[in-house]
Amino acid sequence: MLMKILYAFLWQEFFVPVPFLYGVIPLHLGAEFMPLWNEMADRIAGKENPDANVRLARNVYPGDA
């Protein structure tokens, strides 16, 4: 759970005061890396999220496509 919440806070707009994180390229890289990060966190926890969309980080919130 901590891995996922830290990742979320890293990409939350302006929570981390590092302006280059919020450009187009870093945001796309963060989105592409999210499924791998979620998989690593699930393996460490020993539980898998039953929602495939959340695991793959696709169609999770409005406008993410």
How many angstroms separate the most distant Cα atoms in the chain?
Answer: 35
For the whole model, what pTM was predicted?
Answer: 0.69
Question: What is the C-alpha separation between 65 and 51, in angstroms, rounded?
Answer: 17
The ranges of the chain with pLDDT < 70 are 65
Calculate the CA dihedral of residues 28, 10, 39, 60 and round it to 10 degrees.
Answer: -60
Confidence at residue 38, expressed as pLDDT on a 0 to 100 scale: 85
Confidence at residue 65, expressed as pLDDT on a 0 to 100 scale: 67
